[in-house]
Structure 1
Amino acid sequence: MNLSTLGLLSDDEQQQFNRVWLLIERHEIANRTAKAYYEGRQRVRSLDIAIPRRIAPLVHTVVGWAGVAVDVLDERLDWLGWVEQGADYGLTEIYRRNELDTDSSLAHVDSLVYGCDFITVGTGDDVHPLITVESPLHMSGIRDVRTRRLSVAVSRYWDDDRKVYTSARLYLPDQTVYLERGELGAGPWRVYDRDQHNLGRLPVVQMANHPTASRPFGRSEITRGVRGLVDNAVRTLGAMELNREFFSAPRLWATGVAPEQFAKADGSAVTGWEAVIGRMMAIPHDEDSPDAKPAVGQFEQGRPGPYLDYLRGLAQLLSAETAIPPMMLGFATDTAASADAIRAMESRLVKRAERRQLMFGRAWREVGRLALLIRDGAIPADYDRVVGLDWRDAATPTMAAEADSTTKLVQAQILPASSPVTWRRIGLTEIEQRQVEQDLRRGRVQQLVAGLPGAAAHVQATKPDVAQAAMRSGSVSTGDSAGNQTA
């Protein structure tokens, strides 16, 4: 390490660092708002009509529809790793050692919530290469339109104890610069290390959700439409909760009674507040009608029906916005839907999940390139032709339907019966596939061993007959005489 490169950033590096830092700050409010909706912690403004202002802070209502819109889509994005056809680059081992079967979901969820996410590839002590998922709350970059990759990126790291950012990294095409500053988070950033990797590209991949030409960084699944419907649902549930407090007990009325009849045991009169709490409304005795008899009745209790109907309408609007079937939003019918009806309701959601597989697959393919580049120093020339991605089916077919379709493909000789592709289609895990392969191999060996005695006996029994038949046909001869006779 050249010590002269440590200290402060150069003017060009400082300019790039500041530019990306401002990008993080610019999107922080929007990202934290999306996070609040995903976790059900958003603040919803009250209209001060159904709920008085002084009571509104006491009513804590949460509607988790924004989180459902993200999680339902993420649950259909199971990435099973890279697939290598006719080659062995070791990507399966990289997938396992980095535990991407679970950590890949971290990138998917962040991309769906914030609109994009970042994945870094570097060297590690126990795991090499090391693949890490970074949140857009603490990382951003500048995208090169021509290469469709990042040209510069910055990540910053928060100290929970001191509540400041104390370290950061500046990612450049040929090096990664490690920075830190004082314990109080003040003062200039100082370089304490430089990793001169000379890759010619950033070891950072951006995973964008639903990118467009005008918004290549993607967009959140928690759109303004989703947030508006969630806010409306929160206010509706708050009004229903307040209505429950006032009308949960029956309200009674009475006519033809005198106030003295509501006296307490000690002779004191019942106060107005106690009468309200008692849910009793009384009309004084009419002196002009002394023969009128008292009457007692009950008002109809407030019911949640109108509120639930309104929520059901909001759920239908949210279903149209997010392609989620209404039954996943808490409004199930008593009649069980058939399998065909369920597939029809989920068709748009499945198509949306398949589109996300294509978008996120581009990022995972780039991660594979960087992993090989860091490990081997080069990307294989046939990488794009050989390496593919394995995703679990985004639909929800039953085991019986999947087994039936696979059986038909095997009978039509489209799929081999003992192919790993066939085993994956019927839902066997990787461990189960290896066990089945061992059982098949063991069965073939046992069958071969069991057939050896019979085969040996058959050979011994047929050997004299074979020799005699050969002599009679003249196919067995010795010496040159056979050749002379033939001539």
Structure 2
Amino acid sequence: MTQKDLLLQLLQRLNEPAAKYADLDRYYTGNQPLAFLSPEAKVALGNRFGLMASNIPRLAVTALAERLRISGFSDPAVWADWVRCDMDQLSGVAHREALLLGDSYVLVWTRPDGRPNVTVESAKQVAVLTDPGTRQIVAGLKRWESKPENCTHAVLYLPDRIVRLRAEQVGTVTATGFNVVGEIANPLGVVPVVNLRNTDRILGDRGGSEIDDLRPLVDALNKSLADMMVTSETCARPRRWSSGIELSEEPVLDENGDPVLDEDDQPVMTETNPFPESHKMMVSENENAKFGQLQAADLAGYEASVRVILGQIMAVSTLPAHYVGVFTDNPASADALRAAEASLTARAEARQQTFGRSWEQVAKLMIAVRDGRDPGLIDDIRVKWADAATRSVAQEADAVVKLYQAGLLPADYALGKLGYSDDEIAKVNAARPATMPAVA
């Protein structure tokens, strides 16, 4: 396959999900349009109704992402470069992007001083092609726009070379608009792009979003909340009625404030309520006049609807009740809260396994860049994750200390279980001879 054909395929792959990503972004930011509205309701509401959205999608993504914390690698030497590239903070961004869009990417290359440089990339700017047999990435592309220069840049990543391209206009999406402006050799022998794909299936060339199943349920929830707000507006000011009172007449005015005249040059009159809505008291001299107020609407039905929909949302997303604001009269105990989060914890641990292999590839590329080695010959490296479960510091420390005192855990591993990173463990070990007895 020629370089032009590769560029064409990668650009098509990059452009294909643009509409889907824009839709997912709207749900993540809570800016999706209100659904399940009849045409008559849309006309009646017009532009008088503000945005109404319960941002469950963002909660579903962040609730998982906050439990995906990398605490180290089996090779401690990787951690120094990892922190220097700010990946201890940016790895969470990669997780959120993958959980939302289905895919995110990591680029590994070299700095001018020869040390590895790692960057997190969005699926909106990066696309890759994989070998169906080996499932290895065989080509990658990053495209971005530069509005001050009024051009579009792209970089084509291949196993043997890196090609820089440029188009002299913003928004170029076809291969014919790009021209090669530079090319360098790729000494790694592999494409330096790693894909974090959010999927639990083998087949398929794209990951899935955590909010794909939530979107129709969130639309239903927002519709119920919108209906409740419209009804509450009426309940807050119940409708009043009166009988036995003559209506007032006022002339119809045109846009200039002048009375509108009929065919006989007489002003057109319209009947109006003698008691404007701003009047708090209604007075009539007519002895037959009667006043009353309509019964206020009951919102209990909307509350029941919201609870049913939230139940479905919790079942699909594994979010516990206290995450979505469903509380009981008696506060739950710490053990009950951890039990409620068991499904969410299991889901997070599954995502750790899914993303762990990708981060191990990133670590191998970092070592290959730093030491000038072949990534395929580097020994397996394992990523260390912080515990995905919610536990108090006292409970976790008590459990780890008991295991350490029983001789089942070494000191370094015990510190790792407590959430200490590799560099923090190294500092503890360096300080131990001066501040505490040596560990047996």
What range describes the TM-score normalised by the shorter chain of this pair?
0.7 to 0.9
The counterpart of 2:193, out of the listed 193, 196, 204, is 204
Q: How far did 1:278 drift?
A: 5.5
Structure 1 match to 2:155: 169
The counterpart of 2:391, out of the listed 390, 393, 397, is 397
Percentage of matched positions with identical amino acids = 28
The counterpart of 1:159, out of the listed 115, 136, 146, is 146
- One-letter amino acid of the counterpart of residue 61, structure 1: M
Q: Aligned in 2, Cα 1:344/1:100: closer, same or farther, shift over 3 Å?
A: same
Moved more, 62-71 or 405-414: 405-414
The counterpart of 2:59, out of the listed 46, 49, 68, is 68
Q: Aligned in 2, Cα 1:142/1:283: closer, same or farther, shift over 3 Å?
A: farther
Alignment partner of 2:47: what SS? helix
| RMSD over aligned Cα atoms | 3.3
- Are residues 1:142 and 2:137 paired? no
Q: How does 1:184-203 map to 2 (within 5 A)?
A: 188-203=177-192
**CA radius of gyration, larger in:** 1
Q: CA–CA distance in 1 between the matches of 2:369 and 2:424?
A: 33
Moved more, 18-27 or 242-251: 242-251
| Contact 2:72/2:422 (8 A) holds in 1 | no
Structure 2 match to 1:8: none
The counterpart of 2:12, out of the listed 2, 22, 27, is 22
Q: Aligned in 2, Cα 1:113/1:259: closer, same or farther, shift over 3 Å?
A: same
Q: Aligned in 2, Cα 1:185/1:403: closer, same or farther, shift over 3 Å?
A: closer
- One-letter amino acid of the counterpart of residue 240, structure 1: M
Q: CA–CA distance in 2 between the matches of 1:127 and 1:353?
A: 35
Structure 1 match to 2:364: 369
Alignment partner of 2:17: what SS? helix
Structure 2 match to 1:218: 207
- One-letter amino acid of the counterpart of residue 96, structure 1: V
Q: How does 1:291-370 map to 2 (within 5 A)?
A: 296-370=291-365
Structure 2 match to 1:228: 216
Alignment partner of 1:41: what SS? coil
- One-letter amino acid of the counterpart of residue 12, structure 1: T
Q: How far did 1:183 drift?
A: 4.2
Q: How far did 1:26 drift?
A: 1.0
Higher relative contact order (CA 8 A, sep 6+): 2
Q: Aligned in 2, Cα 1:168/1:241: closer, same or farther, shift over 3 Å?
A: same
| Contact 1:247/1:301 (8 A) holds in 2 | yes
Q: CA–CA distance in 2 between the matches of 1:16 and 1:52?
A: 47
Q: Aligned in 2, Cα 1:429/1:377: closer, same or farther, shift over 3 Å?
A: closer
| Contact 1:116/1:209 (8 A) holds in 2 | yes
Q: Aligned in 2, Cα 1:126/1:276: closer, same or farther, shift over 3 Å?
A: farther
| Contact 2:36/2:219 (8 A) holds in 1 | no
- Are residues 1:91 and 2:95 paired? no
| Contact 1:254/1:283 (8 A) holds in 2 | no
| Contact 1:403/1:426 (8 A) holds in 2 | yes
- Are residues 1:182 and 2:168 paired? yes
Deviations, residues 207-255 of structure 1 (Å, cap 9, x unaligned): 11024122243211111x3110111122222222222333312333456
Moved more, 140-149 or 203-212: 140-149
Q: How far did 1:364 drift?
A: 0.5
Moved more, 21-30 or 57-66: 57-66
Q: How does 1:371-386 map to 2 (within 5 A)?
A: 371-379=366-374, 383-385=378-380
- Are residues 1:408 and 2:408 paired? no
Structure 1 match to 2:68: 77
Q: CA–CA distance in 2 between the matches of 1:161 and 1:234?
A: 40
Q: Aligned in 2, Cα 1:445/1:134: closer, same or farther, shift over 3 Å?
A: closer
The counterpart of 1:423, out of the listed 415, 419, 429, is 415
Q: How does 1:238-249 map to 2 (within 5 A)?
A: 238-249=226-237
Structure 2: 5+ residue runs without aligned partners? 250-269
More helix by share: 1
Structure 1 match to 2:382: 388
- One-letter amino acid of the counterpart of residue 169, structure 1: V
Q: CA–CA distance in 1 between the matches of 2:151 and 2:170?
A: 9
